Chain A
């Protein structure tokens, strides 16, 4: 593959079929890190690329309102009231009040049409690092967390991103923190005086904050440290179902992000891994800053970045170079990312691509129209599936229920006959239903396909469909080694 496409495959999503290619790739990488990130997509098939309309991108308050409304109408549906138990009413409720399918579709469209391909790859990495699975009420929040908690924070520091995502209602709900109360909090004390009232600590987020988001088990922290972190977190977050008056009373405001319920907070100072954390709202920022700059965090996440972009088994030197960029830039993400990309571009070995990354690249390279427009989300199409269904069949979606450790960066976890069969099937579907605007020969010439890929494509004969499938499932386009 030529230099432009080799780099775009490794750290981006490939240049679209009609995009001009940059000459100076080093400058291109830098410009990509600063690229603006409007949510690009198409309103309907074959329309011009445009920005997603604002009304399909509601803020958190609106999302919470929609969720409460959805639940209320669901209740009426169960009770057979107000005509809510008809199929039409059920569908209207889903369409009007649930964001999951719209958000997932927006995510897919911007990955297919976006001009900020490198930032979108970084978004996928960090959204996976800070996994928010689809449970409880998170379906209406995940898309917001990815856009506002990850993508919008790529040009700041790791400490800012960590604090932002830890206090996002999506994370606070997914890992149960919205229901956690300090054992000695006013709320718990009041509750313990009443019969059948339950209140107390839930250490789920405290544990994963240490294990998955920052220092990792290599740091050798204890159960007391986990409990300490959970005590710092107690009081953070407000239930998405909470009605406005209750919310105002509990957090003294209307913002779900960084919502803090003082009466649920554990009083007194806490200790986490030797660090004294002050009581009160400021304690969490103190804790996340302490963790963000911890040597074990720097080591753990530098390694993870290398495993995602550089090699399944990065060398000690490679990891060290990212760690030193981290320290020099004081956790500045663009500085860290620049060093990771330097290594990725210089890496000699292939890097296997995640299923979703591969699919986005296939669609961009070929100029296929494989995803519906945003105006057609709810219209059945006998050729094009919803983005939700596509990602589900592909076996990788940020809107699925999954465990907080997210998707693996180790290729062995993706090497299975069914996973590979999906690549063949989706190549087939993109060719037949997506109407690619570039032929296999045009694509191979444009990317500078290697001789082995050309020979492989030639070996399957003259059928344009078979040639398309073969090219997309070649080692070169899957990120695998050559014979």
Chain B
């Protein structure tokens, strides 16, 4: 365990996890808001769900991937265990405030990062079919704008022209621009560029100091969302889940790349919990990843691109803990194309349930206008009652 902790600290210090965070409404733009909040942690690269929540009760697990399965996992029940990096998450589970959905995926099976990421953020029926994101469209339906805490505006939040982003600059020898100068510059531009410079002018009037490491950013976002006129949604991006090589350390399957990255996720969830305070009771946090990884270990102590993975959920809106799954099995014949964990739950349904809970939108409306899939199954009861 000591090795693990040291590794994680080094990582945070080195800033190797790139992170983005989103979802603050802009004063004056936002109407009366729903009570809940929704936060998405995007795990970029394809997170290995079979390592995060190993199905220890499935005899095929050790047969297929002993070298990379965590040894000191925490047993959740007879069938599922929890990766030792997810310590805080485990405490939440014990309190009935965290759940997992297993063998789940967006309906995308081609194993490309970039198509997959476009699908999970865009939420369309095929890669690159949407210019806006599912969370952005849902916020638009709920009548609230979001703000992203990153240099760019992530696809998942696009969909509302009042969306904004925030990521404080640190440029030696330069001052924050004066609002009146920026307003004049905005007047010289047209269309989207003019709108964006106008937002820069608005922000020139604010004065905020925000940290940049993942956990502190999550705390910051949580605090902002807890305020009466605070934001409804936020997005954090954690990179580096593409564990083709050295997913675990040689001889220590509890340590290595994936253990470090799951540790970052655990810190981010803990950061949210700290920041949200009593607003935790109205909050839902969920992870999102473009695909899971191969069932079998590859030749470099890692795993290649796969299909289904796991979704981690946390927040006071959850009424009980557990692993929601319709387990497909890990035998060759049970696998998708004889290599990947099969998906038996459409993860869009999980996202839809979280939107329904947090933004108070009707499932039919979400299915139709957010995910373009009118017959999207509703899984609300499995998570929230």
Interface residues of A (CB under 8 A from B): 175-176, 179-181, 183, 188, 196, 198-204, 207, 211-212, 217, 223, 382-385, 389, 393, 395, 401-405, 412-422, 424-426, 428-429, 432-433, 452-453, 455-456, 459-460, 466, 469-470, 473-475, 478, 480-483
User: When the two chains form their complex, are residues A403 and B114 in contact, meaning their CB atoms are under 8 A apart?
Assistant: yes
Chain B residue numbers with a CB within 8 Å of A456 are: 184-185, 187-188
Q: With A383-B172, A385-B171, A417-B203 in contact, is A199–B299 under 8 Å at CB?
A: yes
Once bound together, how far apart are the Cα atoms of A32 and B187, in whole Å? Answer: 37
The chain B residue sitting closest to A226, CB to CB, is B111
User: When the two chains form their complex, are residues A421 and B188 in contact, meaning their CB atoms are under 8 A apart?
Assistant: no
**Which 10 pairs between the two chains have the least Cβ-Cβ distance?**
A200-B299, A456-B188, A429-B174, A417-B199, A395-B151, A179-B300, A416-B153, A483-B190, A433-B173, A428-B174
Once bound together, how far apart are the Cα atoms of A455 and B304, in whole Å? Answer: 57
User: When the two chains form their complex, are residues A417 and B337 in contact, meaning their CB atoms are under 8 A apart?
Assistant: no
Chain B residue numbers with a CB within 8 Å of A418 are: 150-152, 165-167, 169
B244 at the interface (CB under 8 A from A): yes
A-B contact pairs, 15 of them (CB 8 A): A175-B244, A183-B299, A204-B242, A211-B112, A385-B171, A401-B239, A403-B113, A403-B114, A413-B152, A416-B148, A416-B196, A421-B177, A429-B171, A433-B174, A483-B190
User: When the two chains form their complex, are residues B245 and A483 in contact, meaning their CB atoms are under 8 A apart?
Assistant: no
Once bound together, how far apart are the Cα atoms of A240 and B170, in whole Å? Answer: 34
For chain B residues 152-204, which have a beta carbon within 8 Å of chain A? 152-153, 164-167, 169-177, 181-182, 184-185, 187-194, 196-197, 199-200, 203
Chain B residue numbers with a CB within 8 Å of A207 are: 111-112, 305
User: When the two chains form their complex, are residues B299 and A415 in contact, meaning their CB atoms are under 8 A apart?
Assistant: no
The chain B residue sitting closest to A472, CB to CB, is B185
Interface residues of B (CB under 8 A from A): 16, 18, 44-45, 67, 110-115, 131, 148, 150-153, 164-167, 169-177, 181-182, 184-185, 187-194, 196-197, 199-200, 203, 239-240, 242, 244-245, 250-251, 297-302, 304-305, 337, 339
User: When the two chains form their complex, are residues B193 and A217 in contact, meaning their CB atoms are under 8 A apart?
Assistant: no
**A470 CB contact (under 8 Å) in B45, B173, B181, B300:** B181
A356 CB to nearest chain B CB (Å): 13
B211 CB to nearest chain A CB (Å): 16
User: When the two chains form their complex, are residues B152 and A483 in contact, meaning their CB atoms are under 8 A apart?
Assistant: no
User: When the two chains form their complex, are residues A416 and B151 in contact, meaning their CB atoms are under 8 A apart?
Assistant: yes
Chain B residue numbers with a CB within 8 Å of A466 are: 181
A281 CB to nearest chain B CB (Å): 20
Q: With A414-B152, A418-B167 in contact, is A470–B185 under 8 Å at CB?
A: yes
Chain A residue numbers with a CB within 8 Å of B190 are: 475, 480-483
User: When the two chains form their complex, are residues B188 and A405 in contact, meaning their CB atoms are under 8 A apart?
Assistant: no
B22 CB to nearest chain A CB (Å): 11
Chain B residue numbers with a CB within 8 Å of A212 are: 114
For B188, B192, B305, the residue with the greatest tally of chain A CB atoms inside 10 Å of its CB is: B188
Chain A residue numbers with a CB within 8 Å of B337 are: 223
Chain A residue numbers with a CB within 8 Å of B193 are: 415, 420, 475, 478, 480-481
A466 CB to nearest chain B CB (Å): 5
Once bound together, how far apart are the Cα atoms of A412 and B192, in whole Å? Answer: 9
User: When the two chains form their complex, are residues A425 and B111 in contact, meaning their CB atoms are under 8 A apart?
Assistant: no
Chain A residue numbers with a CB within 8 Å of B44 are: 403
Chain A residue numbers with a CB within 8 Å of B167 are: 418
Once bound together, how far apart are the Cα atoms of A418 and B171, in whole Å? Answer: 13
Q: With A202-B300, A460-B181, A473-B185 in contact, is A415–B192 under 8 Å at CB?
A: yes
**B contacts with A: majority SS:** loop
Once bound together, how far apart are the Cα atoms of A482 and B172, in whole Å? Answer: 31
Once bound together, how far apart are the Cα atoms of A181 and B199, in whole Å? Answer: 52
The chain B residue sitting closest to A470, CB to CB, is B185
Chain B residue numbers with a CB within 8 Å of A393 are: 169-171
Once bound together, how far apart are the Cα atoms of A482 and B148, in whole Å? Answer: 28
Once bound together, how far apart are the Cα atoms of A475 and B187, in whole Å? Answer: 11
User: When the two chains form their complex, are residues B245 and A470 in contact, meaning their CB atoms are under 8 A apart?
Assistant: no
A89 CB to nearest chain B CB (Å): 18
Chain B residue numbers with a CB within 8 Å of A383 are: 172-173
Chain B residue numbers with a CB within 8 Å of A424 are: 177, 182, 185, 200
The chain B residue sitting closest to A460, CB to CB, is B184
For B165, B166, B176, B189, the residue with the greatest tally of chain A CB atoms inside 10 Å of its CB is: B189
Chain A residue numbers with a CB within 8 Å of B191 are: 481
**B177 CB contact (under 8 Å) in A401, A428, A432, A455:** A428
Once bound together, how far apart are the Cα atoms of A418 and B244, in whole Å? Answer: 33
Once bound together, how far apart are the Cα atoms of A198 and B250, in whole Å? Answer: 9
A413 CB to nearest chain B CB (Å): 6
User: When the two chains form their complex, are residues B197 and A420 in contact, meaning their CB atoms are under 8 A apart?
Assistant: yes
For A385, A395, A421, the residue with the greatest tally of chain B CB atoms inside 10 Å of its CB is: A421
Q: With A470-B181, A475-B193 in contact, is A179–B245 under 8 Å at CB?
A: yes
Once bound together, how far apart are the Cα atoms of A188 and B300, in whole Å? Answer: 11
Q: With A179-B245, A415-B153 in contact, is A469–B171 under 8 Å at CB?
A: no
A304 CB to nearest chain B CB (Å): 13
User: When the two chains form their complex, are residues B299 and A198 in contact, meaning their CB atoms are under 8 A apart?
Assistant: yes
The chain A residue sitting closest to B302, CB to CB, is A202
User: When the two chains form their complex, are residues A432 and B298 in contact, meaning their CB atoms are under 8 A apart?
Assistant: no
Chain B residue numbers with a CB within 8 Å of A425 are: 169, 171, 174, 176-177
The chain B residue sitting closest to A185, CB to CB, is B299
Chain A residue numbers with a CB within 8 Å of B182 are: 424
A369 CB to nearest chain B CB (Å): 13
Chain A residue numbers with a CB within 8 Å of B148 are: 416
A358 CB to nearest chain B CB (Å): 13
Chain A residue numbers with a CB within 8 Å of B302 are: 176, 202
Chain A residue numbers with a CB within 8 Å of B297 are: 198
Q: With A196-B251, A401-B240, A425-B174 in contact, is A202–B298 under 8 Å at CB?
A: yes
User: When the two chains form their complex, are residues B188 and A432 in contact, meaning their CB atoms are under 8 A apart?
Assistant: no
Given contacts A383-B172, A416-B153, 19 further A-B contacts (CB under 8 A): A180-B300, A198-B250, A198-B301, A202-B245, A393-B171, A395-B151, A405-B113, A414-B152, A417-B165, A417-B203, A420-B193, A420-B200, A421-B200, A426-B171, A432-B173, A456-B184, A459-B188, A460-B185, A470-B188
Chain A residue numbers with a CB within 8 Å of B305 are: 203, 207
Chain A residue numbers with a CB within 8 Å of B16 are: 401
The chain A residue sitting closest to B182, CB to CB, is A424
Q: With A401-B18, A417-B196, A420-B196 in contact, is A480–B189 under 8 Å at CB?
A: yes
Once bound together, how far apart are the Cα atoms of A406 and B44, in whole Å? Answer: 14
A478 CB to nearest chain B CB (Å): 8
**B203 CB contact (under 8 Å) in A421, A429, A460, A470:** A421
Once bound together, how far apart are the Cα atoms of A188 and B45, in whole Å? Answer: 27
Chain B residue numbers with a CB within 8 Å of A395 are: 151-152
User: When the two chains form their complex, are residues A475 and B188 in contact, meaning their CB atoms are under 8 A apart?
Assistant: yes
User: When the two chains form their complex, are residues B174 and A426 in contact, meaning their CB atoms are under 8 A apart?
Assistant: yes
Once bound together, how far apart are the Cα atoms of A362 and B189, in whole Å? Answer: 18
Once bound together, how far apart are the Cα atoms of A403 and B113, in whole Å? Answer: 9
User: When the two chains form their complex, are residues B172 and A459 in contact, meaning their CB atoms are under 8 A apart?
Assistant: no
Chain B residue numbers with a CB within 8 Å of A404 are: 113
Q: With A200-B300, A211-B112, A419-B152 in contact, is A385–B172 under 8 Å at CB?
A: yes
A199 CB to nearest chain B CB (Å): 5
A429 CB to nearest chain B CB (Å): 4
**B164 CB contact (under 8 Å) in A188, A198, A417, A432:** A417
Once bound together, how far apart are the Cα atoms of A176 and B243, in whole Å? Answer: 10
Q: With A179-B245, A418-B150 in contact, is A201–B299 under 8 Å at CB?
A: yes
